[in-house]
Homo-oligomer: A and B are copies of this chain.
């Protein structure tokens, strides 16, 4: 069955089981919310990664561990939550070596320190299949302050952090495709793919500024579509405003890939958020304070769906709605 059918089926089957707890947000957001102490809430999210699907079996073990953590912290950031702890369920192939485990644990340690989080639990089992890892991440956010996908309103600006599409081009570098950039740019793109940088400082700082937020994991346009669907709005992106790195700009100029790759490529792990127009100055100031590029790329409108416009206001056609893990 196709990826899309699968997703719908799962939404249909699993979402009703969320009804009992409002903090589950109908399984439509980056994380669930449960009550914490004294005016706080815990955001809780879980992501799985499988060798050969989400990373290559011979990727460096420390990078696998760090990507797993970062992908989850990115979900927390998208809720405006500050990372606190993780639980790790590891299914190791029986031929895993002590050296491999050492390097894997070393990656965990590096990022636990980098992001001031603790490993507080989990499970370790053997698998006859590929290395499979599931991480649950817990972060804290003020009660009723989380950045929800459902908070986009018509008239809001749409913003993104960092540059978009680097990871899609980095994956092509990793696959050995002839991305026409210099060795330094190739390495930089590959790093962007292998080791995303979750916006753990930006996310909590956006509480009170942003309306809706999510992290871009399945592609900018597809993910913005999720915000639109959950908020009951539409969106327009101005393609030429989408911030590109020098490396991606260089590759596209040389005729490799296109803005469609940028708009639909996955694994950016930048934050995508909406905000009322009057907060633009405060958001720009925040970007300067964090030394992080924050760029308005369009606006939320009434209606539904995401329209991408070129500089003449003409709709740009995209094939497909982004990367989907199932079938992918």
Contacts and interface: CB of A to CB of B under 8 A. Distances in A.
A122 B135 CA distance: 10
A313 interface: no
A12 B325 CA distance: 34
Contacts of A173: none
A208 interface: no
Quick one: copies of this chain in the complex?
2
A251 interface: no
A309 to B, nearest CB: 33
A162 B98 CA distance: 39
A51 to B, nearest CB: 8
A125 B326 contact: yes
Interface stretch (A101-109, A228-236, A284-292, A297-305): A101-109
A212 interface: no
A255 interface: no
A149 to B, nearest CB: 13
B89 A47 contact: yes
B121 A127 contact: no
A13 B109 CA distance: 9
A43 to B, nearest CB: 10
A13 B134 CA distance: 18
A120 B48 contact: no
Q: Which of A36, A50, A105, A136 has the most CB of B within 10 A?
A: A136
A34 B101 contact: no
Given A47-B89, A126-B325, A126-B328, 16 more contacts: A6-B124, A9-B98, A14-B124, A17-B105, A17-B119, A19-B118, A27-B120, A32-B85, A35-B37, A44-B87, A46-B121, A48-B91, A50-B132, A94-B327, A125-B325, A126-B327
